[in-house]
A and B are shown apart, each in its own frame.
Chain A
Amino acid sequence: MKKLFALLLVALMLTAFLAGCAQQEGAKEGGENGEAVEEEPKSTYPDRNIIAVVGFSPGGPTDVIARGVLPIVQEIFGVGIGINNMAGAASAPAAEHVLAQKPDGYTIFFGSEIMSVWQVMGTTNLSPTKDFIPVKIVSEAIPVMAVPPDSPFNSVEELIAYAKEHPGELRISTAGPGTVPHVSGLLLQQYLGVEFTFVPYQGGKPAVIAVMSKEVDATIEMVQSMVAEHQGGQLKILSSFTNEPIPGLEEIPPVGKIYPELSPHVPYGPYFGVFVSKDCPAEVVEAWEAALDQAIEDQRWIDYTNQFYLVRVNYSGDAALDYLEKWTSKAAWLLYDFGAAENSPEEFGIKRPE
């Protein structure tokens, strides 16, 4: 019996050890590379490992992007950055967890556009600009509209023309209420005077399956989750929610070119970036900004984003606040005007977009 107890203990310890080693190795690697750059800044932050909280499960778009940029930051900082996935409830518990920690910059939030709709959708009363400091928005994804391969629509013009004559008849699958695909569809409704029936699915992939299996007439999802199917002939991408063609996928016409009335409102896509609690010291924000500035110039990050057709952006400070406010007001009011949001944006001081 003692033997067994010892065995179980050893097994548990081994698991803990393995998990621990992964972190330490990362930290060590970072240390070696970090020493070379360390000479200029004399700040003490960071002097121990940092936890980055991601509000989605491993392998989701936000997680994949966090794991693309944070390892590079880890090298620059010379301390380990552990990624903690706290999935569920539209990331709200993850954000609440970050805000509940000491605002010393050792627990940061890798956030995404879902933060912009928390208040109007009634998820949680937190604002990306008032409760957090957006350190830097590093990337955007591009939503596209797709139809099944044998769909009668071969272009977005045909689809919109049909929708104009048959309001509410075309069914569009989305990743869920209040998500970017849903808001993108609402943009079409608002500015092109059409009406769709939105069928919400449990995330982006199920929404794509729904169009491949012809359960719905069309879907709106991020380009990286459909590009393989598009090239394999399992669905047709009609248009991207941008003004310019996507580099590498020039054959997909941008919706802003086809409908000039939409061009002021696109590109419209989810954002991803690093957020810290609003009570964090300025020293922390500066350290992160500097490190991220360096990381997004790194060739590995450039290759990584190209592979997923992600747009690299760099908004920090006032530019980030301005960007987030515009984004939030656009999404919040569209959702509210079409009856999808629970709360009025006015309650939270979100101004209606001009």
Chain B
Amino acid sequence: MTLTLVLYTIVGAAIGLLMGSLPGITVTMTAVLVVSLTYGWPMAEALAFIVGAFCGGVTGGCISAIALNIPGTSAAVATAFDGFPLKERGEADNALSLGLASSFLGGLIGLAIMLVLGPVIGTFALRFGSHEYFLITLWGLTLVAVLSRGNIVKGLCSAFFGLFVGMIGMDPIMGMLRFTYGTGILKGGIDFVAAMIGLFGMKEVFKQLSKKSSFNISGTSYSIKGLLPKPHLLKRVWHTILWGGPLGTLIGLLPGTGGDVGCIVAYGVAKQVTKNPSRPFGEGAYEGVAAPEVANNAAIGGALTTMMTLGVPGDSVTAVILGSFYLHGLLPGPTFMLTEKHYFYLIAAIVLVGTIMAYIFGILGSNLILKAINLPKWFLVPFITTLCIVGSYAIKNNMYDVIIMIVFGIIGYLFEKGGFPVGPVVLAIILGPMIERNLRQALIASGGVVPFLTALVTKPISLILLILIILSFVLQSKVMRAAENKVKDAKAG
């Protein structure tokens, strides 16, 4: 690790943080852009730049999720659920300070697991097959209950709409076209990133245009000091961080799932296991900010481990990084760890520097972004619109996604007007296709419904997951009742 490499990492982290914090520009897009800049560079410099941007981008996602209720990246979807309510309570700096600190700790936990267990744990990810993915993703859907904010029927309506949207396009097993109504635009399906940008970003623009007041909360002042780590907040969530980190790393290790699924699952688990949250989830619980942020950064270490030890991308960002390995003539895989082991340690060092720098830049930079919400509407509305258009175009360099994004902005606006939450829509668009694909793969692979059901209980990991899911339902009801009683007691007392 030379000084030049440290410098490249720092620049990468700064660019990543900026891109990640801009609503509409995801970490994957940042990685694509950064990778395309580095094609001609030597491998080590390119890696420092790319992985630095990866760390920065994931950290940056929480800034706009908390400040604007627009997740900066898909890995920060769940951060908005409690982060924005906190901001509305005037605790924006608390939420951000906690989000950034959790990201930082998550990055370090992921790195530690990568270094200690990395070479061994890689093969563990292979034990997760279609059955296990099916259970994990199906379980993620139960989050609809939290995201419905009280009105479960409307929440379910939103979720069903999202599941329907997820089925549009080519079906994952036979390649048949579904619900495309003969138009070319729907053939490729609805990209969930385009839908997410529309439902969170563009919707906000429409909302602002239809009302007189602007985004800002006057009288709130932000300072760098307010974003420094706050021991009393961290003390409240230390247990969330302790299990959220390893959980995020585990999900990062699984091929194909990264920070986006990691933050959703961590949020769900936080909701289930936190007996006495600081506030009810969805209304500004500190645990609800810490869990997704610690998990999405911890997923970095996991995803990179899978990429290097198995040659399989751990998530969509590492898929792009894997491509740049190929272009530099390196073939990651089991033999890679024997012949090119120095790259493993180089990447670990870059993650360390990148995580630290992302934290420092986060404290300095998000202060500016928080100030930016106090900007007048005439500036903010066009600015966010531009970012939404650029972001949705950049997914595949395709105008179709821009149209889809705008349509979803209108849908999101109408949904909110009718009191239907948009959170479950995004959740269902992300999880729906994964549930369908894994269920159908599992059905074909096990050869029928009965063998599929028996496999659910005979495969060890799937059995553990199944028990956990059933347990979570049982516990949930008790916890809910206990919490309700407590509220009643408090009111009575």
Contact = CB atoms under 8 A, between A and B. Distances in A.
Contacts of B379: 5
Interface stretch (A31-39, A127-135, A224-232): A224-232
Contacts of B310: 209, 212
Between A58, A123, A229, the greatest number of chain B beta carbons within 10 A of the residue's beta carbon is seen for A58
B120 to A, nearest CB: 14
Interface residues of B, number: 64
B397 A85 contact: yes
Interface residues of A, number: 66
Interface string A182-224: 0000000000000001011110011011101101100000001
A200 B332 CA distance: 24
A124 B19 CA distance: 35
Given A206-B255, A206-B256, A212-B126, A58 B372 contact: no
A215 B129 contact: yes
B240 to A, nearest CB: 31
A87 interface: yes
B313 interface: yes
A92 B187 contact: yes
B255 A228 contact: no
Nearest to A168: B447
Contact of B319 (A59, A83, A122, A229): A59
Interface stretch (A171-179, A237-245, A251-259): A171-179
A121 B441 CA distance: 20
A86 interface: yes
Given A59-B322, A197-B444, A307-B329, A84 B255 contact: no
B169 A200 contact: no
A128 to B, nearest CB: 18
A64 interface: yes
Interface stretch (A14-22, A155-163, A323-331): A14-22
A224 B383 CA distance: 45
Contact of B326 (A64, A176, A199, A201): A64
Given A210-B129, A228-B336, A22 B175 contact: no
A274 B437 CA distance: 33
Interface string A1-34: 1001101100100010011001001100000000
Contacts of A96: 184
A297 B15 CA distance: 39
B35 interface: yes
B189 interface: yes
A4 B383 CA distance: 13
A199 B445 contact: yes
Interface string B85-99: 000000000000000
A89 B320 contact: no
Nearest to A178: B175
B173 A15 contact: no
Contact of A342 (B19, B36, B176, B327): B176
Interface of A: 1, 4-5, 7-8, 11, 15, 18-19, 22, 25-26, 57-60, 63-64, 67, 83-90, 92-93, 96-97, 121-124, 171, 176-178, 197, 199-202, 205-206, 208-210, 212-213, 215-216, 224, 227-229, 231-234, 304, 307-308, 340, 342
Given A15-B33, A93-B184, A227-B331, 19 more contacts: A11-B18, A18-B37, A19-B37, A57-B319, A58-B323, A59-B326, A83-B36, A87-B396, A89-B187, A92-B188, A93-B400, A96-B184, A123-B175, A200-B173, A201-B441, A210-B130, A212-B126, A213-B126, A232-B338
25 contacts: A4-B375, A8-B372, A15-B15, A22-B40, A25-B40, A58-B320, A59-B319, A59-B324, A59-B327, A85-B32, A86-B396, A88-B189, A88-B396, A97-B398, A171-B445, A202-B256, A205-B312, A208-B312, A209-B255, A210-B129, A213-B129, A232-B335, A234-B334, A307-B329, A340-B174
